[in-house]
Structure 1
Amino acid sequence: MKKFTWKPHRSLLALTILSATGAVLAEPQIHHPSIAPQSISEALKALAAETHIQIFSDGDALKGKQTSGIQGDFTAKEALQKLLTGTGLTYTFTAEDAVAVKAAETGSNAASTLPAVTVLGQTIQDTTDPYNEDYRLTKVNTATKTNTPIMETPMSIKVVPRAVMDDQQIVLFDDAVIRNVSGVQRNFDFGDLYQGFIVRGFSLGANIYRDGLRQNTGYFEPAGMERVEVLKGAAAMLYGRTQPGGLVNYVTKKPLDKAHYSLQQQFGSYDLYRTTADATGPINDDKSLLYRLNIAYSSNNSFRDYNENERIYVAPSLTWRLSDQTEMTVQLEHQHDDYVMDFGIPAVGNRPAQVPKSFFVGDAAVNNSSMDSNQIATIISHRFNDHWKIEHKFNWHQWTHEFNSIFPAGNINADQQTINRALMTGPTDRESFATNLDISGEFKTFGAQHKLLIGADYFKLKTDTYDNHWTYGVIPALDIFNPNNHMLDANAVKAVPNDFWWQEKDQWYGVYAQDQITLWDKLHFLVEARYDILDYGTGCCSEPINIDDHEDNRLNPRFGIVYQPWKWLSLFGNYVESIGTNNGLTPTKTVNKPEIGTQYEVGFKTEFFDGRLSSNLAYYHLTKENMLTGVPGLPYRTSVGEARSQGIEFDLTGELTDYLSLLGTYAYTDAIFTKDNGFAPWGMASKQGNRLPNVPEHSGSLWLTFHPDDRFKIGAGMFAQGQRAGNDNNTYDLPGFVRVDAMVAYNWKIAGSKLITQFNVNNLLDKDYFRGSRVTDSSGALPGEPISFIGSLRLDY
């Protein structure tokens, strides 16, 4: 290797960041760096590790300089140029595999800084860039916690980036997932109380993750989300007690070191008004303190009678770069919702009743529930050197729900016209603490490359429902074909004595270790094990409450393999076990055993057109033991035995051309009850052989956008679901449907700012469909929205 030809001053630190052989700057080899905004010295170390080149630098010249980071597909030269943009630094080739970085000279002897290079392939923008319009991401953390390329990950994982949510004008978090990820449906729980999903046939319950930590029950505001990542199959190895179908994790917006401000006003059908604001940037000159503030306010009526909603959302955050190696982010979040619990339309015969979509089972006098959610989250990371890092996360979440609703007390009566109703009022408080500590590093042994992760986590959830009315027999029945929603007196309802109390606790301690082993750059192994100590219990229904407390310990393994014969093709397989969450009380008021999941999966992934278009095709076989179901007419659950889900899933994401973006999904899901314990004394029919509720055999989606220039964009798409069982007993079905959506947008550049106008139409063909149903009986299926419109004005500057 040649010596340096330039001579810096005597304080020069001639630091070799990484020495390697093989890859050279001059070769048009494509690398896939994912380097976050940070100090330029740390960024250059990361680039050297990724590209296997030697980078020498002047320590004083680098001091205090920051880079906005880089993510995408680049040659080493392109990546270096992008990292140094705006830093006042230049580079000089000293050998084929070595480069020197120094401060740019001034005057007549100044060197040419950052010369233009030819881009060989599709450049992918930084995922945190507010102007990022890419649909495809190459790396994610959710599957392994190690920012591994998706092509090297032996699991199926799908990412919904901010660009997709903006193009589709997502105002409900669940829409971002069910419209864009294969094999995922909406989980309609009691009164649509919280946002939840069904993945690979199995309900995730209230288990939503935020930046890798489990959340409490609730509705989540998409204005604060950077992207959503969905991991298919059991994920308990890294995340504790989760359902075996998969894991939905949303990544929050973090402070950026470049100032950016955005103000958006949306308006739409049924008096929808939604205002959002996003402001971020550095607080001081050296960019060691960064801030971000996200605000949202929305109000809307509904095509459903007596259904008005209002939300206030405020989420400030602060990042402190203590040094080039250490960073801490603190996030606060407050959300208040006034909304109406919606129990849908009851079934008559084998279909939801033929009543108007506006049908409401409640009463105008008892119709104003509310939710308050508060969170404090911290992320602290420290990089010891080029290869080893430690990270700690913490989240406190407090959620209060004030129930005030009338709900159906069972199925339609024998007259096939009236339905009995019950009263539900009073508070529920939930509080959770989640934290984890991860140490990760890279090293080589005997020619094998290792990515090692060692971690521990703790989660605790307390639920307290007190001074509630859960009262049957005092509310008049409703004629569903001639409903009278003004039968009650609010004062009379308040006079009903309190009659219901409920408490739950759920906590675990977990330790885990994971090793990702790479041989010959083509063969990737994943070996992982986790040990959990579980403590859980439930008690009800009158004071004083006695919690039935239980403890379980379990070791869960995960194994995976990826073979990459070529860069564009990965063949993968995995075997995973998992343990589920708190399982509630049986009718004898004892706690159910945890649900146990086992999964086998094989598939392949591809990247075409210089990596611009990626796909994932997988076959899986998943079983769930101690499968739970609700007991009709009672607030209890019991195990029905075992269920099995198997099928094929396909996801396609990226760009067909420079002007045409694509997102497509398809899922074939065969999900049935395979064993039945039988509980005739509680009025429960055998479920063996029944289909799992709300799970269509066939489902899919397609979304295309055409953007011939940087100002105009037009898009359209559809998502479809086949016929689904409406409940566990399969006594009625929800019909299949195809929904078509469309959008058009245009933006103007005004004095360095951008004004974006956009118009979306959802359910363009005005098709009737149902989002989901309550699975324990036939009391409610939630209709989907008819044709609706959303307009938007957004100013970015």
Structure 2
Amino acid sequence: MNKFIIYLMLLLPCSLQAQAQQKTEIYGKIFSADGKPVEGITVKLLPQDISVSTKANGSYLLKSLKPGPAQIHISAIGIQSQIRDIQLEEKRNIISNIYLTEDQSTLDEIVINGASKNKYTRKQSLYVSKMPLRNMENSQSYAVVTKELLKSQVNTNYDDALANVSGIDKLWSSTGRPGDGVSYYTLRGFTTQAAMVNGVVSIASTSPDPANLETIEVIKGPSGSLYGGAAVGFGGLINNVTKKPLDTIGGRINYIFGSYAQHRVTADVYGPLTANKKLLGRINTAYSHTGTFQDAGFNKSIFVAPSLLYRPNDKLDIQLDAEIYQSKATNPMMVFLNRSRQLFARTPDELQFDFNKSYTNNDVTFKNPSTNLRGNVNYRINEQWTSNTTVSYNRRKSDGYFQYIMYLQNANDTLINRYAALQNYVANSINAQQNFIGDFHIGGMRNRLLIGLDLLSQKSETHNSPYVQTDQINTSYDDPDYYKFNAAFIDAAIAASNGAQTNNRSRTQVFGAYVSNVLDVTSQLHLNLALRMDYFNNKGTYNIDKDTTTGKFNQTAFSPRVGLVYEAIKDQVSFFANYQNGFKNVSPVVQPHPSVSGDFKPQQASQWEAGVKFNLLEDKIGLTASYYDISVDNMIRPETIEIDGKSYNISVQDGTRLSRGLDFDLTAAPIQGLNMILSYSFNDSKTTKAAANVNNLRPTEAGPKHLANIWANYTLQQGTLKGVGIGLGINHASENIITNSIPTGTFVLPSYTLLNGSLSYSYKHMEFAVKANNLTNQTYFKGWTTVNSQMPRNILGSIAYHF
């Protein structure tokens, strides 16, 4: 017996040691088909029946495993499952990267593992930093408008979609005019337009149709280090992310109708085009017609956007997109105020003007056809490097009658001049962009390196009649001459004019090279450094009638960026700070004296920003809040100098401007069925060295100081009323000074608060909704040196079928 005990005691340590040696672990990562880490995928090991979910970086770890043959099962709701046979060794097993057949856009459509999802946000972006980067580790602040938010708001137009974002407000609706017909917005106190699609330049003559949008990214602050200066404002930029083909069959057909002859039909159909799912397709289409509350005016359009995605293997993705748009519309009514003397009216109420009149006619129209073609090739060179190549072609046209009205009389603000012209403008642009993206470690620190080149070539040709004054109307009463205006009336005025036509061609080229690195000093401390070199070459404007070319010049600009992010709680709380730079090319001028140079340098904007980002309660609450300070140098201002006893009015480049403020964007899904978005912004802008007439005054492009927006939508999840939803929203803007100078004084648009609401019901494949905008029928205005009356109360109905 004693011998048996001794033998057992000697054997036990050996047995324990043998058992300890039998325990092992496996580690690996899962990526989407386009190389993005995927969170929330279930990794199950058989036959030991142990499961884990992947983390935000796509990694998974299974411990306390027995060596021997095993299988890894990869699964999640809505994705194609995968099985991999492995042999577990007694050491740590590193599994080679696993790539899903679905890309990131497909996965965004899926609620991973059925978990509650914050539908009004996205956790990462492929375009903000031109590389896959989570918001929590990005030193730049940006906000996202998702297609789910647009759906819940029964959205029918692009301008309304941007009302959900802090710091941005519409100044002008789309005019369709040559060169810059897209809507103008103020963003952090500076003008900007929607000019980017999937991270490349795509300039249009009218605002985008939202039917093909996956998200809208409002990227805040000067962003010259990655995006250059050709299509970016100092307050930031707007990037439209389009819908991508999916490997599952589905779609949605929607009819929206309502007040003021609003009719909109959209269709979104997607799915695999081959049995092996290597070729995927998607098509989005829309037909829209919108009337007006005024006595004349309409806008109708047709939009078609096909997309193909080919994946011959797990390393290569080839995508081809097209967006074809046709529109016909009347000119939006904007009242231009006098700019040379003291105004008699200081508010819309004091202006003797009937805003129910359009000052146009339904036969005074213009067309804005446009075509966008894009090709993208994404190739995974190896596990560390990816090549991404994009070529984009854009053709746009402005063709028809363009008009405006303006108070020009010295003695009153009651006689308004009506002007019109017949214009024919066509432009095209080609943007080629090559990015190499690396993800590797040096000295134990992770590097995400971007090396990029892009070329932007733009051409335009203009054949315009002169702008002519067609008539003068007294706005203080119902002037009978008001009703004489039509297309024939304009043609007669142009024929009688002695003004010269405009017939010219212009061409510009921009070449940019940039490098950016996100360095993980630790797993929670991220340093971003970026630099861009930009060469701008204006080939000049060729006057076809005179056979002369003027305006040739070129400029070189450098744009640095430094950002720092500290994740105080990994993936949940980040503190960030950045220095960002932007630039704008400045044309030379002819000075009145030969001793004064008319050549200028690019304008430069510098931003310092600090803030915090939250991603709490398993993605249920997302927040970005920041304070920014933007200063602009090298602005042009007038100055009078004396040379040899004679005075000369010259242009000098030492003007400055400041813009400071706060941005706050919150999204929340605190309970199942409830989704909310809330934003607030404050902006304080002024010129600090400018012409005496405007020095130390708020620029008219800065918009309202305060903006606040909220939208909440709750859908019942169970019971007899399951599928019933209710939405409620508020849009608020403080007063807006749209004219502000010593010669004119100020003209102020009053503050407003709009109340919006919706009721919806979903049953199986059907969706029904009613949306009321401006429920209290507020009279309100927007503008930028102009007074632009906005929509009164309007009701929309929506019927949709999804499959």
TM band (smaller chain)? 0.7 to 0.9
Calculate the TM-score normalised by the size of structure 2. Answer: 0.81
2:552 corresponds to: 549
Offset at 1:127? 2.0
Residue aligning to 1:646? 660
> For each residue in 1:524-544, what CA deviation from the matched residue of structure 2 results, as whole angstroms up to 9, or x when unmatched?
000111111111265488833
Q: Is the 8 A contact 2:75 2:82 kept in 1?
A: no
Amino acid at match of 1:361: Y
Change (3 A) 1:569 1:100: closer
Aligned match of 1:789: 795
Q: 331, 349, 354: which one pairs with 1:356?
A: 354
* Aligned residue among 267, 292, 305 for 1:315: 305
| Aligned counterpart for 1:693 among listed residues 682, 701, 706 | 701
Q: 2:370 aligns with which of 368, 373, 376?
A: 373
Counterpart residue type for residue 165 of structure 1: L
- Corresponding residue number in structure 2 for 1:117: none
Moved more, 180-189 or 349-358: 349-358
Partner of 2:9: none
Q: CA deviation at 1:691?
A: 3.8
Tell me, in whole angstroms, the C-alpha distance in 2 between the residues paired with 1:329 and 1:573.
Answer: 36
**Does structure 1 conserve the Cα–Cα contact (< 8 Å) formed by 2:219 and 2:237?**
yes
How far the C-alpha of 1:502 sits from its partner, in A, is 5.1
Within 5 A, what are the aligned runs for 1:709-720? 709=717, 711-720=723-732
Answer yes or no: is 1:660 the counterpart of 2:674: yes
Give the whole-Å Cα distance in 1 for the aligned partners of 2:252 and 2:578: 43
Shift of 1:566: 1.3
Query: Does the Cα contact within 8 Å between 2:106 and 2:244 map onto a contact in 1?
Result: no
Distance in 1, Cα, partners of 2:618 & 2:118 = 17
- What is residue 109 of structure 1 aligned with on the other side? none
Q: Which deviates further from its counterpart, 705-714 or 541-550? A: 541-550
Secondary structure of the structure 2 residue equivalent to 1:731:
strand
State the secondary structure of the residue aligned to 1:216: coil
Shift of 1:705: 1.0
Q: Which residue of 2 aligns with 1:145?
A: 130
How big is each residue's C-alpha offset from its partner over 1:533-581, in whole Å with a ceiling of 9 and x where there is no partner?
A: 1112654888335231111112111000001121221111011111125
Cα pair 1:182 1:650 within 8 Å, conserved: yes
1:24–1:546 CA distance, 2 compared to 1 (3 A): closer
Is structure 2 residue 183 aligned with structure 1 residue 195? yes
Q: 2:474 aligns with which of 458, 473, 479?
A: 479
Judge conservation of contact 1:539–1:585 (CA < 8 Å) in 2: no
Counterpart CA distance in 2 for 1:403 and 1:628 is 34
**1:90-109 superposed matches below 5 A:** none
- CA shift in 2, pair 1:582/1:154, >3 Å: same
Q: CA shift at 1:71, angstroms?
A: 8.5
Give the match for residue 739 of structure 2: 727
* Structure 2 residue aligned with 1:386: 383
How many equivalent pairs are there? 707
Deviation per CA, 1:744-766: give whole Å up to 9, x if none. 111111xxxx1111111101111
Residues 322, 727 of structure 1: CA spacing in aligned structure 2 closer, same or farther, 3 A cutoff?
Answer: farther
Tell me what 2:200 maps to.
Answer: 213
Q: Letter of the 2:554 partner, please give it.
A: E
What are the equivalent positions in structure 2 for 1:119-138 lying under 5 Å apart? Answer: 126-129=107-110, 134-138=119-123
Segment drifting more, 326-335 vs 457-466:
457-466
Matched, 1:767 2:789: no
1:712 to 1:92, Cα distance in 2 relative to 1, 3 A: farther
What is residue 18 of structure 2 aligned with on the other side? none
CA drift of 1:294 comes to: 1.0
* 1:239 Cα deviation from its structure 2 partner: 1.2
Question: Contact 1:747–1:756 at 8 Å: present in 2 too?
Answer: yes
Once the two structures are aligned, what percentage of the paired residues are identical?
22
Secondary structure of the structure 1 residue equivalent to 2:359: coil
**Partner of 1:166: helix, strand, or coil?**
helix
> Counterpart in 2 of 1:756?
767
Residue of structure 2 equivalent to 1:304:
294
Determine the structure 2 residue equivalent to 1:278.
268
Q: Deviations over 1:282-307 (max 9, x none)?
A: 11111111111111111121113321
- 2:580 aligns with 576
Rounded Cα–Cα distance in structure 2 between residues aligned with 1:625 and 1:229? 27
Q: 1:259 aligns with which of 243, 246, 249?
A: 249
The 8 Å contact of residues 170 and 184 in structure 2, kept in 1 or not, is answered as yes
When structure 1 is superposed on structure 2, of 483-492 and 228-237 the one drifting more is 483-492
Q: Secondary structure at the match of 1:492?
A: helix
Q: Distance in 2 between matches of 1:323 and 1:614?
A: 36
Measured after TM superposition, the shift of residue 597 of structure 1 is 1.1
Superposition deviation, residue 447 in structure 1:
1.8
Aligned equivalents of 1:743 and 1:383: distance in 2? 45
Give the 3 Å change call, closer, same or farther, for CA 125–767 of structure 1 in structure 2.
farther
Counterpart position of 2:169: 185
Amino acid corresponding to residue 169 of structure 1 in structure 2? V
Cα gap change, 1:213/1:186 in structure 2, threshold over 3 Å: closer, same or farther? Answer: same
Matched, 1:174 2:155: no
Partners of 2:297 and 2:362 within 8 A in 1: no
Partner residue, 1:121: none
Contact 2:218 2:238 survives alignment (8 Å)? yes
Q: Distance in 1 between matches of 2:729 and 2:704?
A: 20
Q: Distance in 2 between matches of 1:663 and 1:539?
A: 46
1:564 to 547, 557, 567: 567
**Greater Cα radius of gyration, structure 1 or 2:** 2
What do you get for the CA RMSD once the two structures are aligned?
A: 3.7
Rate the CA distance shift 1:230–1:704 in 2: closer, same or farther, 3 A.
same
SS in 1 for 2:456: strand
Alpha-carbon spacing, 1:34–1:429, altered in 2? closer, same or farther (3 Å): farther
> For 2:434, which of 432, 437, 447 is the aligned residue?
437
CA contact 1:22–1:52 (8 Å) conserved in 2: no
* TM-score, structure 1 normalization: 0.81
In structure 1, runs of 5+ residues without a counterpart are: 1-20, 26-32, 58-68, 102-123, 631-636, 679-684
Tell me the SS of whatever aligns to 1:743: strand
Structure 2 CA distance for partners of 1:280 and 1:640, relative to 1, 3 Å: farther
Q: What is the match of residue 742 of structure 1?
A: 757
Question: For residues 151 and 270 of structure 1, do their structure 2 counterparts lie closer, same or farther at Cα, with a shift above 3 Å needed?
Answer: same
Q: Structure 1's 583 and 421: CA in aligned 2 closer, same or farther, altered over 3 A?
A: farther
Worse overlay, 480-489 or 389-398: 480-489
Q: Deviations over 1:206-260 (max 9, x none)?
A: 4520000112132211001111111110111111112211010010111111111
Query: Aligned partners of 1:307 and 1:450: how far apart in 2?
Result: 55
Q: 1:523 is matched with which residue?
A: 525
Q: Which amino acid aligns with 1:210?
A: V
> 1:536–1:582: 8 Å Cα contact kept in structure 2?
no
In the alignment, residue 733 of structure 1 is paired with which amino acid?
A: V
The farther-off stretch of 337-346 and 489-498 is: 489-498
Structure 1 residue 706: deviation in Å? 1.0
Secondary structure of the corresponding residue to residue 75 of structure 2: helix
For residues 93 and 41 of structure 2, the distance between their equivalents in structure 1, rounded to whole angstroms, comes to 11
CA distance in 1 between counterparts of 2:30 and 2:221 reads: 26
Cα offset, 1:357, TM superposition: 2.8
Aligned partners of 2:707 and 2:79: how far apart in 1?
45
Tell me, what secondary structure is at the counterpart of 2:746?
coil
Q: Give the counterpart letter for 2:559 in structure 1.
A: N
Q: C-alpha distance in 2, partners of 1:795/1:540?
A: 53
Q: Is the 8 A contact 2:188 2:221 kept in 1?
A: yes
Say whether residues 1:705 and 2:720 are aligned partners.
no
Contact kept in structure 1, 2:679 and 2:710, CA below 8 Å: yes
> What CA deviation, in whole Å up to 9, does each residue of 1:608-642 have, x standing for no partner?
21231011110100022345799xxxxxx998932
Letter in 1 for 2:689: K
When residues 24 and 99 of structure 1 are mapped into structure 2, their CA distance, relative to the original with a 3 A threshold, is: closer
Provide the rounded CA distance (Å) in 2 between the counterparts of 1:677 and 1:303. Answer: 40
- Tell me the secondary structure at the aligned position of residue 764 of structure 1: coil
Deviation at 1:89, TM superposition (A): 3.5
SS in 2 for 1:486: helix
Residue 83 of structure 2 corresponds to residue 89 of structure 1: yes
- Distance 1:476-1:585 versus aligned 2 partners, 3 A rule: farther
1:600 to 592, 608, 612: 608
Is the 8 Å Cα contact of residues 610 and 627 (structure 2) preserved in structure 1? yes
Per the alignment, in what secondary structure is the counterpart of residue 465 of structure 2? strand
1:269 to 259, 275, 286: 259
Q: Is the 8 A contact 2:604 2:632 kept in 1?
A: yes
